[in-house]
Every structure is written in structure tokens, then in C-alpha cells.
Amino acid sequence: MSRHQSSFSAKILTASDLLDGDVIYLNAAQTWTRQLSDAHLFVDAEAANAALATADLQQQTVLGAYLVDAATGTNGAPTPIHFREIFRATGPSNRFHGKQADLPA
Amino acid sequence: MYTYSDFDRAFLRNRVAKFRDQVSRRLSGALSEDEFKPLRLMNGLYLMLHAYMLRIAIPYGTLSSVQMRQLAMIADRWDKGYGHFTTRQNIQFNWPKLRDVPDILDALAKVDMHAIQSSGACIRNVTADHFAGAAADEVDDPRPTAELIRQWSTDHEEFAFLPRKFKVAVTGSEQDRAVTKMHDVGLKLVRDANGAPGYEVSVGGGLGRTPMIGRVLREFLPREDLLPYLESILQVYNLLGRRDNKYKARIKITVHEMGLEQLQALVEERLPHQRARFGGAEQKHLSALEQAFTAPAYVTRSSDDFQTALASNGAFRAFVDSNTAAHKNPDYAIVTVSLKSHGATPGDATSDQMRALADLAQSYSHDELRVSHEQNILLPHVHKSYLPTLYVALRNIGLATANIGQISDIIACPGMDYCDLATARSIPVAQQIATRFQALNLEQDIGPLKIKISGCINACGHHHVGHIGILGLQKAGIESYQITLGGDGTQHAAIGKPVGPGFSADQVLPAIERLIYTYLDLRQDPEEDFLAAIRRLGLTPFKAALYGPKEAANAA
């Protein structure tokens, strides 16, 4: 794989919701969703960074926004690369709580 | 037990009202997150992986049944029906909503509890031996001292912004059950040659990325010098502790860099002034606190039923053997209730279990409960005649697991199942080990063994002092677990030694199995426990079991 600086790996923008701390993602309509499958996959750096800068200004809804590496999964929806982000999108493994319980399968 | 004075209650009400106002200003937008974050952290409210987390202090691990019931109520009303007891004698709720937190704090204040100083660069919740006031081997009860320190350190304005967090632990016994050597300050209640009470003061212990064993700063500190001496230590640390690098900011680094003698000199230099400042008022207060921690009104009953049950019921005998300890009153026992039933999450208790334990404490333990740093709940004062009934009651609520101090009595931090700082999960590793060795039916044979698991280098799971320590990291995009051997959190404190490269999540259990079979093969006799065998044999045979003979030879 090219390690050239201009190469950009696809990303999604995630954060936590101010009121309940739940994990949220930015969708294609530039609003926030609880569901990873609705997240927008950024394929260019400029748009991703612009979205991050906008999120940082939305202090009344959004905490600690950051970009994470992701790819299109087998189901066509964005899937994060790192296991931490997969846990965030699912919930704890010891109890059926969090997104795995709250969202429609 | 200590109950709050009017002063304490007024302080706490005021503090909750302040936080309620801060939350409402955050929600209205008057406070930014940058402004609000330090305020919420001062009140124990963190933002974790999936939600907010509220960390509530249980000072020196002591709870009444009323307090335990209130925790159950909070779990049901504002959380998901359970709580997680931690290695710091705190309880954490994993799913509170921001707007509910002031109500939760109000509910806590109603039972003399709070979440103050359970975060931040301040003096944290003071911890103590969970056998305090009950242990047969106790010189003096550490709780009055711990309560005095709690009151002194709560809202201590000078020490609200230390270079880094500061943890104090107190024990009253030679057998150190409070890991005092791994605290910023560890206090051991001792008597001098004339029988006068005082403290052995250790300083600079700590786990985390730079584990260090505390060193004795003062072999005997007269009791009346306690707060002047602590104040002096904290002043020196506040002034000279490093603020340029958070990894070098704990007092252990200060001690390491300036040398113990230099710290001693600086503390002693300040002491006379501090002594004069306190003027002994705090000693009068300490005497008053001692009255709050007198022994319970012991009952006198026949223990015949206990002896009969012991002789006739093997399961009961196994429970008594592993889950009870010697009480200072020979007719009594200290009962440890395991929160580690095989496959359970270490330290988790449901609201039903909390209520049941509260009822049992009320009926059989003079209304007292304790939380141990090993993430279990204790009933500290149980007359032996009650043990058969208590055992059945515990069995009925799934809390009679007879595994205290054994391989499945594992400490595990929340790890990446909950924690924002974690680099790997801890809980599933603990679940796998416990379930596997139960299936092998080897626990009793293996005997005393402490496995401690942390999901990151910060070492909340105390892995450095586990006989077997497991540290979860990430390596090449997957969870990777490093094993250390030979750690010890007692008065013989030792930091476990790393054995070699880490194991992936599916290889860590087989690795632990190989270690255990090696121990069973090589031990001199069943009396030689795992830690003793490691000390006698060294790491080589265990490395060979983990990595094969060749790698072990290279690594040795």
C-alpha cells in the first residue's frame, strides 16, 4: 500500500452526545445519528476535516468529536477498522446493554 | 459507624446545589464543555466509552444497610439495575444521564454519601483494610484515622490542584490487606515500645506505568502528629512535584528524583509549624471519631448449630474455609461474599443483590457491610451460629460462591468494555479463566492464587501485584495480553516480572492453563502455593511453559 502523504484512508466522524453520553456519528445529511450504519464515509481529507471543525463548534450537542478510520463493510455500511470503535458501535461484551440493545438489529 | 454531623450535611447539600446549577448552566449553554469538564470531574462524573460514568466514594469501604439500599435504588431508578465495585473501594454506575446526576447526588447525600474527589488531581477517596474493626490480627482500628483523613482532605483548598492525584490507604494490621505499599501514602497503625499509638508512614508507592513500592518515610509517627505530618508531605509535594510531565507527576517520581532523605528533611522542617497550626484540635476530634467506631454490641449465643453444619455439610464447610476469616471476637467470623461467581463480571452487583446483602447485614452483621479492593462485599461481624442460615440465604441469591483468594477470585478493571482509557478488554479474560478452571474442577487443588487484570497501563486492575498479572494492550490492531509473574500486594510487596511477548485474546487462557499445570507439576507439595513456588523456582520453568524451552533459555 502506498505510504504517500496525499493518500487518505476513508473516515467516519464520531462523538458523544452531551445529554446521555451515547456514541453518535455524523451522517450524509450532516446531522448526528446513533447508528453506525447511517454514518457518512468521508473519502477526502478536506471534507472530513471541515466536518470535524464544524462538530467542534456544536458544543451544545456534541462532545469530543474525532475522525476514525473506516471502510465499507460487507453489508455496504461503514465499518471502523479499530476494535475500540467496533466496541463503541456495539456496547459492552459482558452485558447486553448499549447500542446492541437499544438499536434495531 | 460514623454518621454525618450537621456540618457535613450542610456542606454536602450546598455542594450538590452548586453542581445542579452547573449542570443547568451547561445544558443552557452558559458553560462550555471546557469550563464544565473540571466541574463534573470534581463530582465524580466521567465520560466513558458508551455513556457517562458516575464514581461514588465508599470511604474506607464501609457501608450501612441503608446506604447499600440507596445504591440499589439509584441503580434501578437512574441506571441499568446494577453497579460496579472497584479496586478503589468505590462504586461506579455505567449509564447515568447528565440531567439526572444532580438528583443522584441528592439521593446519595440523603445517606451521607458523595462522589466528591473521586476524580482529579486531589486527595482521593481514602481506602482501608476491609477487615477494619473486625480482624483478629488488628493492632488498632484504621477507620477513625481514615475518617479523620477524609474530613481533612475533603474540599482542602490548598490541595485541590496537586500535580497529580494522591491516594492514601490505612491498615491496622501487620497483614496488609489494603495494598498500602502501593499508595502515594500508606499508613500502618502501630504501637511503640511503650504501647503508645502511632503510624508507620510509607510514601511513593504506586502502580501505573512506573510501578514503585512505597518506602518508609517515618518508622514511628506519634499519633498526634498525623495531620501535621500529612499536611507537610502534601505541601512539599504540591510545591516540588513535577507539573511539566503528567507521567512524572506522582509523588513516587518526586521521591525517586529528590531521594527519600531529602523529602524527609523537607517534611520534618515543616512539621513544627504545622503542629502549632493544628494545635491539637484535630486530636480531640479523632477521639470523638473513635467513639463512632466502637465494636458492635456482640451477642452471646450457642455455636452448636454451626459445629453441626460444619461436620455434616461439605459445601458449607468449603464456604466457611474459603469465605470466612478470623474475627477478633472468637465467637464471630468475617464473611466475604464473592462477587465472582464463575463467569460473572468481577465487582458487579445487581440491585436485587445489593438489597439482599443489605437485609443480610441488618439481620446478621450488626448492620455493617464492607467493600474490598478485591471487588467483593463483606459482612464483617457475623456470629458463627448465624453462618449456616446466612450460607443458605446467600446461596438462594447466587452469592455463595466459595472461591475467595482462589484462581477465580479475579480482580479486573472495566477495561475496554466500558473505559475510555482502556487499550483492551479485561472482563472477558476474567470470565474465561474463572469458567475454565471451574470446568476443570481444579480450583481447590490450586489453592491460593491472585490473578489481577488491567485493561491498560494505568493498572486499575492491580496487575503489577497479581501473582499472575495480565495487562491488556493493543498490538498490530488486536488486543494483546502481557503476563507478569510473582507480584504481591501485601506487606511483602513485590512487582510482578514480565515473562515475554504478549498473547492474543484467544491465546491468553491456554497460556494461563500452561502456567497452572507447570505449577501443579513442580510444587513441592500442596502446601506450597503458586507464589511460593515462583519464588523458589524462578521464572524459567514458567517461561518455558509459556514459550517453549528454547525461548525461555534465551529470555532468562
Q: What are the phi and psi torsion angles at B377 (to 5°)? A: -110, 140
* Homologous superfamily, domain B421-555: Sulfite Reductase Hemoprotein, domain 1 (3.30.413.10)
DSSP state of B64: E
CATH classification number, B304-396, choose in 3.30.365.10, 3.40.190.10, 3.90.480.20, 3.40.1030.10: 3.90.480.20
**Three-class DSSP labels, chain A:** CCCCCCCCCCEEEEEEECCCCCEEEEECCCCEECCHHHECCECCHHHHHHHHHHHHCCCCCEEEEEEEEEEECCCCCEEECCHHHHHHHHCCCCCCCCHHHHCCC
DSSP state of B466: S
Name the one residue in this structure whose C-alpha cell is 450504519: A37
The secondary structure of B470-493 as a DSSP string is EEEEEETTEEEEEEEE--B-STT-
What residues of chain A lie within 8 A of the CB of B33, using their CB? 18, 59, 63
Q: Which of A36, A84, A94 is the best mutation test for B, with the most CBs of B within 10 A?
A: A94
Q: Is B314 in the A-facing interface, judged by CB distances under 8 Å? A: no
**Three-class DSSP labels, B157-223:** HHHCCCCCCECEEEECECCCCCCHHHCCEEEEEEECCCCCEEEEEEECCECCCCCECCEEEEEEEEH
> What is the nearest CA distance from A91 to chain B, expressed in angstroms?
7
The SS3 assignment for B260 reads: helix
Query: What does the domain layout of chain B look like in residue ranges?
Result: 6-110, 134-292, 304-396, 421-555
Is there a contact between A50 and A57 (Cβ–Cβ < 8 Å)? Answer: no
Task: Label residue B235 exposed, middle or buried (CB < 10 Å: 0-12, 13-18, 19+).
Answer: middle
Please give the Cα distance from B161 to B121 (Å, whole number).
Answer: 6
- Average pLDDT score over chain B: 96
Q: Is A4 a residue whose pLDDT tops 50? A: no
Q: Read off the pLDDT of residues B86-112 as tens digits, 9 standing for 90 and up.
A: 999 999 999 999 999 999 999 999 999
CATH classification number, B6-110, choose in 3.40.50.300, 3.90.480.20, 3.40.50.1860, 3.40.50.720: 3.90.480.20
Question: Domain total for chain A?
Answer: 1
CB contact under 8 A, A59 and B32: yes
Q: For position A3, what pLDDT does the model report?
A: 47
Nearest Cα residue to B409 out of B375, B436, B379: B375
Task: List C-alpha distances in Å: B544 to B98, B116, B503, B556.
Answer: 51, 48, 15, 10
Q: Is B378 a residue whose pLDDT tops 80? A: yes
Q: What are the phi and psi torsion angles at B27 (to 5°)? A: -70, -30
Q: Is A48 part of a structural domain of the chain? A: yes
Task: Label residue B157 exposed, middle or buried (CB < 10 Å: 0-12, 13-18, 19+).
Answer: exposed
Q: Is A1 a residue whose pLDDT tops 90? A: no
Please give the Cα distance from B266 to B249 (Å, whole number).
Answer: 18
Chain A residue with the nearest C-alpha to that of B37:
A63
Q: Residues of chain B with pLDDT > 70: what percent? A: 99
Identify the band that residue A7 occupies on the pLDDT scale cut at 50, 70 and 90: confident
Q: What are the phi and psi torsion angles at B298 (to 5°)? A: -60, 145
Is there a contact between B378 and B332 (Cβ–Cβ < 8 Å)? Answer: no
The SS3 assignment for B74 reads: helix
Q: Which of B34, B49, B84 is the best mutation test for A, with the most CBs of A within 10 A?
A: B49
> Residue B350: beta bridge partners?
B82
- Which CATH topology does B134-292 take? Sulfite Reductase Hemoprotein; domain 1 (3.30.413)
Q: Is A2 part of a structural domain of the chain? A: no
Q: Is B551 a residue whose pLDDT tops 60? A: no
| Burial letters A71-100, b for 16+ CB under 10 A, else e | eeeeeeebbbeebbbebbbbbbbbbebbbe
Please give the Cα distance from A65 to A13 (Å, whole number).
Answer: 7
Residue B71 grid coordinates: 445504591
Q: Read off the pLDDT of residues B5-40 as tens digits, 9 standing for 90 and up.
A: 999 999 999 999 999 999 999 999 999 999 999 999
Q: Is B506 a residue whose pLDDT tops 90? A: yes
Q: Which amino acid is at B464?
A: H
Q: Residues of chain B with pLDDT > 90: what percent? A: 98
Q: Read off the pLDDT of residues B278-333 as tens digits, 9 standing for 90 and up.
A: 999 999 999 999 999 999 999 999 999 999 999 999 999 999 999 999 999 999 99
Nearest Cα residue to B518 out of B528, B504, B505, B533: B533
Task: Label residue B33 exposed, middle or buried (CB < 10 Å: 0-12, 13-18, 19+).
Answer: middle
Q: Read off the pLDDT of residues B218-254 as tens digits, 9 standing for 90 and up.
A: 999 999 999 999 999 999 999 999 999 999 999 999 9
Q: For position B556, what pLDDT does the model report?
A: 47
pTM score, whole prediction: 0.96
Q: Read off the pLDDT of residues A47-94 as tens digits, 9 standing for 90 and up.
A: 999 999 999 999 899 999 999 999 998 888 999 999 999 999 999 999
Q: For position B1, what pLDDT does the model report?
A: 87
Same fold, B6-110 and B304-396: yes
Residue B218 grid coordinates: 517515618
CB contact under 8 A, B479 and A83: yes
In sequence order, what are the residues at sequence separation of 6 or more whose Cβ sits closer than 8 angstroms to the Cβ of residue A16? A22, A23, A24, A62, A63, A64, B47
The parent domain of residue A73 ranges over: 11-93
CB contact under 8 A, A23 and B50: yes
CB contact under 8 A, A97 and B80: yes
Residues for chain B: how many in total? 556
Q: Is B474 in the A-facing interface, judged by CB distances under 8 Å? A: yes
Q: Is A6 part of a structural domain of the chain? A: no
What residues of chain B lie within 8 A of the CB of A99, using their CB? 50
Q: What are the phi and psi torsion angles at B275 (to 5°)? A: -60, -45
H or E stretch at B277:
helix B260-278
Choose the weakest-confidence range: B93-97, B195-199, B550-554.
B550-554
Please give the Cα distance from B452 to B426 (Å, whole number).
Answer: 9
Please give the Cα distance from A14 to A80 (Å, whole number).
Answer: 11
CB contact under 8 A, A99 and B99: no
What residues of chain A lie within 8 A of the CB of B479, using their CB? 83
